[in-house]
């Protein structure tokens, strides 16, 4: 429980310094306080509805006074430029402390949310995909799903073993997490060798890629269920690379190339006239958030296409692309494994890039069924489960371009 010890309005009347009983100090701006007022008039009884009409306030809104109740549990402030008659701005001390935006508090919150960096750092070269048994999901669905999603949130991938090889089982399991995210490939797709212009449906090597980067937003979570992978089939191993880890290696080893991939966009193209598919999207490989952390990564060596950028950027773009590509090819960066019938792999498609080695059927069959769900829906389900199971977690950063 946070308790306010003393407060002081700055000489410029623009800020209010708050000293808490535990010695922590925060500084809040007049506009921030007024526009985040927690009084009954300003906080809508309907959750998530913002009621304050900011443009009606003058730009030089300033503090007239600030006071704290005798227990130190509530800050009350008044303003020159207030538009509501008789209005008093209030902030419970606990709420104020939880939203404190001093450097120390922000840095601590950023670190807590950044499960990806924490996982990569503590991972220490471990290159085994986390696994769980299908039975865990059956024994207790909430605990099983929590276990699965925790791995997907933190490690980016989890392999469920011994899933019955029944038709559309992958959809049934995906629906336990969230609604299916349909794409132009439908709600579910089958991967096996057939006469197709899509390289995924051949026995050829599939280079490292995130699915559908040529779309404005690539699918979030991918689920792939191995229906058949006959013993006679040679090759076809899977490779997974954590692109968030790869770009952090790039940032350290080659900061100039890192900067280039933040600034110069690449292009991805999916053109499939027979299916009526024309997707083209230009975006940067690395997208940073306000704090300079990686917020999104885009990589697809298959649908990679023709950049349309200024003359001065062409060579530095291809140089940076090559540097990052070489990092992803290091054995030390790759999870390499061979799927077995009953394996169902769940991974964050906007974080993990995957590849497949070429294979020969030798009279056998390799058949996978896949589907997608939204990254945001997965995170929502994870947080709902955490709350239900009384796990104390902060909303994690999952690589969906969120800035905090
Ligand atoms: Zn208010
Ligand atoms: Zn603080």
> CA nearest 236: which of 364, 370, 371?
364
**How far apart are the CA of 319 and the centre of ligand 1, in A?**
54
ipTM: 0.96
Q: Distance (Å, rounded) from C-alpha 12 to C-alpha 345?
A: 58
Q: Distance (Å, rounded) from C-alpha 226 to C-alpha 224?
A: 7
Over 90: is that where the pLDDT of 158 sits? Answer: yes
Instruction: Specify the pLDDT at position 272.
Output: 86
Return the structure tokens found at 279.
């997707």
Over 90: is that where the pLDDT of 202 sits? Answer: no
Return the structure tokens found at 57.
């306030």
Backbone angles phi, psi at 266, to 5 degrees: -95, 180
Given a contact cutoff of 8 angstroms between Cβ atoms, the answer to whether 366 and 160 are in contact is: no
**How far apart are the CA of 304 and the centre of ligand 2, in A?**
44
Q: What's the chain's length in residues?
A: 404
Given a contact cutoff of 8 angstroms between Cβ atoms, the answer to whether 13 and 31 are in contact is: no
Q: 124 falls in which pLDDT band (50, 70, 90)?
A: low
| Residues 26-54 pLDDT 10s | 999 999 999 999 999 999 999 889 999 99
**How far apart are the CA of 8 and the centre of ligand 2, in A?**
15
CB-based burial, 294-310: b 16+ in 10 Å, e otherwise: bbbbbbbbbbbbeeeee
Return the structure tokens found at 106.
């922000």
Among the bound ligands, name the one nearest to the CA of residue 76.
1
Instruction: Specify the pLDDT at position 206.
Output: 92
**How far apart are the CA of 24 and the centre of ligand 2, in A?**
7
Among the bound ligands, name the one nearest to the CA of residue 97.
2
**How far apart are the CA of 303 and the centre of ligand 2, in A?**
45
Total Cβ atoms within 10 A of residue 213: 29
Q: Distance (Å, rounded) from C-alpha 266 to C-alpha 263?
A: 10
| Residues 322-379 pLDDT 10s | 999 999 999 999 999 999 999 999 999 999 999 999 999 999 999 999 999 999 999 9
Among the bound ligands, name the one nearest to the CA of residue 89.
1
Helices 375-388 and 169-177: crossing angle in degrees, nearest 10, is 60
> CA nearest 324: which of 257, 399, 255, 268?
257
Among the bound ligands, name the one nearest to the CA of residue 104.
2
Given a contact cutoff of 8 angstroms between Cβ atoms, the answer to whether 317 and 232 are in contact is: no
| Residues 226-284 pLDDT 10s | 999 999 999 999 999 999 999 999 999 999 999 999 999 999 999 988 888 899 999 99
SS (H, E, C) the chain: CCCEEEEEECCCCCEEEEEECCCCEEEEEHHHHHHCCCCCCCECCCCCCECCCHHHCCCCCEEEEEEECCCCCEEEEEEECCCCCCCCEEEEHHHHHHCCCCHHHHHHHHHHHCHHHHHHHHHCCCCCCCEEEHHHHHHCHHHHHHHHHHHHHHCCEEEEECCCCCCCHHHHHHHHHCCECCECCECCEEECCCCCCCHHHCCCCEEEECCCCCCCCCCCEEEEEEEEECCCCEECCEEEEEHHHHHHHHHHHCHHHHHHHHHCEEEEEEEEHHHCEEEEEEEECEEECCCCCEEEECCECCCECCCCCCHHHHHHHHHHHHHHHHHHCCHHHEEEECCCCCCEEEEECCCEEEEECCEECCCCCEEEEEEEECHHHHHHHHHHHHHHCCCCCCCCCCCCCCCC
Rounded average pLDDT over 292-308: 96
Give all domains of the chain, ordered by start, each with its CATH number: 4-101 (3.30.2020.30), 124-388 (3.60.130.10)
Among the bound ligands, name the one nearest to the CA of residue 37.
1
Q: 399 falls in which pLDDT band (50, 70, 90)?
A: very high
Average pLDDT of the chain is 95
Instruction: Specify the pLDDT at position 125.
Output: 64
**How far apart are the CA of 127 and the centre of ligand 2, in A?**
38
Among the bound ligands, name the one nearest to the CA of residue 27.
2
% of the chain with per-residue pLDDT over 90: 91
Rounded average pLDDT over 299-303: 95
């Amino acid at each position: 429980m946070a308790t306010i010890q003393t407060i002081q309005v700055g000489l410029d009347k623009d800020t209010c310094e708050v000293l808490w009983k535990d010695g922590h100090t925060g500084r809040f701006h007049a506009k921030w306080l007024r526009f985040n007022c927690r009084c009954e008039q300003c906080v809508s009884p309907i959750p998530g509805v913002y009621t304050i009409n900011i443009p009606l306030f003058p730009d030089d809104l300033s503090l007239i006074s600030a006071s704290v109740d005798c227990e130190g549990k509530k800050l009350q402030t008044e303003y020159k430029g207030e538009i509501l008659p008789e209005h008093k701005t209030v902030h419970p001390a606990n709420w104020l402390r939880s939203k404190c935006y001093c450097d120390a508090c922000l840095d601590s919150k950023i670190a807590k949310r950044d499960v990806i960096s924490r996982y990569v750092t503590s991972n220490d070269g471990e290159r085994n995909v986390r696994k769980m048994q299908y039975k865990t999901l059956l024994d207790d669905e909430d605990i099983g799903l929590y276990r699965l999603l925790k791995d997907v949130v933190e490690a980016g991938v989890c392999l469920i073993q011994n899933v019955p090889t029944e038709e559309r089982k992958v959809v049934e399991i995906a629906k336990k997490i969230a609604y299916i995210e349909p794409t132009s490939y439908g709600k579910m797709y089958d991967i096996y060798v057939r006469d197709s212009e899509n390289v995924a449906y051949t026995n050829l090597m599939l280079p490292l890629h995130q699915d559908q980067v040529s779309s404005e937003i690539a699918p979030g979570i991918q689920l792939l269920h191995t229906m058949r992978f006959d013993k006679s089939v040679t090759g076809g191993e899977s490779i997974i690379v954590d692109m968030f880890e790869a770009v952090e290696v790039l940032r350290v080893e080659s900061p100039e190339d890192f900067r280039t991939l933040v600034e110069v966009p690449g292009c991805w193209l999916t053109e499939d006239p027979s299916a009526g598919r024309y997707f083209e999207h230009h975006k940067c490989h690395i997208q940073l958030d306000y704090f300079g952390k990686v917020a999104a990564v885009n990589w697809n060596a298959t649908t990679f296409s023709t950049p349309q950028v200024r003359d001065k950027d062409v060579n530095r773009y291809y140089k940076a692309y090559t540097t990052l590509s070489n990092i992803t090819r290091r054995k030390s960066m790759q999870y390499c494994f061979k799927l077995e019938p009953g394996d169902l792999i769940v991974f964050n498609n906007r974080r993990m890039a995957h590849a497949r080695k070429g294979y020969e059927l030798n009279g056998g069959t390799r058949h996978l069924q896949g589907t997608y769900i939204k990254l945001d829906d997965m995170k929502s389900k994870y947080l709902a489960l955490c709350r239900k199971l009384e796990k104390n977690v902060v909303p994690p950063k999952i690589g969906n371009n969120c800035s905090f």
